[in-house]
């Protein structure tokens, strides 16, 4: 089944990235310490900020290639579309790096405590960091191109290979020297190779579909300008919400607290990585079905996608929420209560926001992205002042509030408005099948396991207990997934 293969390849790539993150983070923290690890946290913020300047072009390329590949009379447009968006994308990448350099070295003193990093070569570190981002950013576009062509396998293999080399070299450099200049120098080289390999393969994939040399065309930009502008605003708000907590922590709290919060965010990365494969698999499908005016199958695909996502996301969240202390001790060998509680709150907040991803994909596919945009604006209006107040009172714990308000607005008011206009009469079904049912299966299993777990177990025994609990959850998950696919076949 094509749907399952697409999800599987995207999931494999995401899980592999999560494993690499899990393995590398304790090494980075142990060798660099929380202060220098905070620079890697700043790097991650800049990566996310660059996504603001995607301006919806990645999603537009995804959607356009998905539509054009099935229209034989528009094969010329495939090459022109890729060439046009590609040129714009590289210009954006260059502009971003120039902007980052100006902002960091002129205004950085207002939001980065330079003195706290001691005598390290901070100027070189940030310059090499920015050059690595310059080559890394366009890779997003080429991966979107493969997904639009429904070549999920190639996209996944490129990501797995690139990330393996990237993390492997990073671990080697940190263990050998703990030198962040060499760390980012290596990232420049790897990002260059990864991006241009993806570019070469993508152009090779479409070369058989085009008979003339692709050229830059303003008409391509005119065609996609409405969808692109809507997705640009969506991306801007999404990246702002996803990084606002870290920006506020960096500004308001000591460097070590920022390192601690970065560690908690990294630990919850498994949830975000679990969401992306479903979005990547279903967004092009939603667009295709809506374009073909196949509303019946579109509704069916919507509920299948939501149930697959929610069962997967809630199963993972239950395990890591209830076993948060054990997971962090096994992973890092030592933890503090603030880190554990921050981790738990982030899990809940990201779970709530994650459940809104496929409804948002559906809204975007049918040409109604403004609903999701309005929900994010509402979350920011409510969330920013309250988050600032909570950080002042509760430190890093207060920073997690922005995730809660984002998720709650999406799956309450956002879902309600959506089902008043489209999929009428299906609101109750969504809550029962997507929210209630998974919780009823997984909370009792994991909750009972935590309750009966013997006190004083060592790390090895705790690991096997956690493994056994995860295996039980996996069995239940597999049974439910089979039921979902069985209903699809029927």
- What pLDDT, on a 0 to 100 scale, did the predictor assign at position 6? 79
Model confidence band, residue 108 (pLDDT cutoffs 50, 70, 90) = low
Which of the listed ranges 162-176, 187-201, 325-339 does the model predict with the highest average pLDDT? 187-201
38 or 169: which leads in pLDDT: 169
Residue 265: its pLDDT value, please?
Answer: 86
Question: Looking at residues 288-300, what average pLDDT do you find?
Answer: 81
Give CA–CA dist 170/235, Å, rounded.
Answer: 29
Q: How far apart are the C-alpha atoms of 48 and 487, rounded to whole Å?
A: 39
Place of tokens 């309450």: 412
pLDDT digits (tens, 9 = 90+) for 382-424: 999 999 999 999 988 999 999 999 999 999 999 999 998 888 8
- Residue 111's pLDDT is 52
pLDDT of residue 302: 92
* Tens-place pLDDT, residues 110-144: 555 555 455 556 777 788 888 888 898 898 889 88
Say if CB 439 and CB 316 are below 8 A apart: no
pLDDT of residue 404: 93
Mean pLDDT of 465-489: 85
| pLDDT tens string 437-461 | 999 999 999 999 999 998 888 888 8
Per cent of the chain over pLDDT 70 is 92
More confident residue, 69 or 395: 395
Among 190-199, 206-215, 291-300, 474-483, which stretch is predicted with the lowest mean pLDDT?
206-215
SS3 455: coil
Alpha carbon 466 to its chain's center: 25
How does DSSP assign 353-377, residue by residue? HHTTHHHHHHHHHTT-THHHHHHHH
Q: Is the pTM of this model over 0.85?
A: no
Please give the torsion angle defined by the CA atoms of residues 246, 249, 252 and 256, in that order, rounded to the nearest 10 degrees.
-130
* C-beta atoms surrounding 163 within 10 Å: 18
Q: Any idea what the Cα angle at residue 378 is, between residues 137 and 312, rounded to 5°?
A: 60
Q: How high is the mean pLDDT of the chain? A: 84
Answer with the residue of higher pLDDT: 119 or 179. 179
**Region of poorest pLDDT, from 274-278, 384-388, 466-470:** 274-278
> Distance (Å, rounded) from C-alpha 37 to C-alpha 260?
9
Of 1-5, 19-23, 273-277, 468-472, which gets the smallest average pLDDT? 1-5
Q: What is the pLDDT of residues 138-168, one digit of tens each?
A: 988 898 888 888 788 898 899 899 889 888 8
Which pLDDT score, from 0 to 100, does residue 107 have? 60
- Which residues are CB-contacts of 264 (< 8 A; sequence separation ≥ 6)? 339, 342, 343, 346, 396
| DSSP letters for 402-427 | HHHHHHHHIIIIIHHHHHHHSSTT-H
User: Given this model, what pLDDT does residue 238 score?
Assistant: 82
């Amino acid at each position: 089944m094509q749907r399952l293969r697409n999800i599987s390849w995207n999931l494999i790539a995401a899980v592999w990235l999560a494993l690499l993150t899990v393995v590398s983070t304790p090494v980075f923290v142990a060798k660099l310490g929380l202060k220098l690890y905070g620079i890697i946290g700043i790097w991650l913020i800049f990566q996310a900020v660059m996504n603001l300047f995607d301006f919806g072009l990645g999603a537009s390329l995804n959607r356009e290639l998905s539509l054009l590949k099935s229209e034989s009379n528009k094969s010329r447009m495939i090459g022109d579309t890729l060439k046009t968006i590609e040129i714009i994308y590289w210009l954006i990448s260059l502009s971003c790096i120039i902007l980052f350099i100006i902002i960091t070295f002129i205004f950085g003193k207002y939001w980065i405590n330079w003195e706290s990093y001691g005598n390290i070569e901070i100027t070189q570190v940030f310059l090499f960091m920015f050059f690595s981002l310059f080559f890394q950013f366009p890779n997003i576009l080429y991966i979107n191109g493969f997904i639009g062509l429904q070549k999920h396998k190639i996209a996944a293999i490129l990501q797995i290979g690139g990330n393996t080399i990237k993390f492997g070299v990073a671990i080697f450099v940190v263990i050998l020297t703990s030198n962040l200049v060499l760390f980012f120098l290596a990232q420049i080289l790897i990002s260059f190779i990864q991006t241009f390999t993806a570019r070469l393969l993508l152009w090779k994939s479409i070369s058989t579909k085009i008979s003339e040399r692709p050229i830059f065309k303003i008409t391509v930009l005119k065609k996609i300008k409405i969808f692109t502008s809507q997705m640009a605003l969506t991306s801007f708000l999404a990246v702002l919400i996803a990084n606002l907590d870290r920006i506020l922590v960096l500004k308001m709290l000591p460097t070590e607290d920022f390192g601690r919060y970065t560690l908690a965010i990294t630990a919850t990365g498994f949830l975000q990585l679990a969401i992306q494969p479903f979005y990547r698999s279903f967004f092009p499908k939603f667009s295709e079905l809506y374009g073909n005016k196949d509303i019946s199958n579109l509704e069916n695909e919507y509920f299948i996608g939501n149930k697959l996502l929610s069962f997967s996301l809630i199963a993972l969240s239950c395990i890591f929420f209830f076993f948060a202390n054990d997971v962090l001790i096994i992973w890092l060998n030592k933890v503090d209560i603030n880190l554990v509680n921050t981790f738990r709150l982030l899990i809940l907040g990201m779970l709530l926001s994650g459940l809104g991803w496929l409804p948002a994909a559906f809204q975007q596919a049918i040409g109604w992205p403004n609903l999701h945009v309005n929900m994010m604006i509402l979350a920011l209006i409510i969330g920013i002042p309250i988050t600032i107040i909570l950080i002042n009172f509760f430190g890093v714990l207060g920073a997690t509030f922005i995730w809660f308000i984002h998720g709650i607005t999406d799956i309450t008011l956002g879902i309600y408005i959506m089902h008043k206009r489209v999929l009428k009469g299906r609101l109750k079904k969504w809550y029962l099948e997507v929210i209630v049912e998974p919780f009823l299966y997984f909370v009792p299993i994991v909750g009972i396991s935590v309750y009966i777990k013997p006190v004083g177990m060592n790390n090895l025994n705790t690991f096997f207990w956690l493994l056994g609990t995860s295996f039980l959850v996996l069995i239940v998950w597999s049974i439910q997934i089979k039921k979902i696919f069985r209903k699809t076949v029927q």
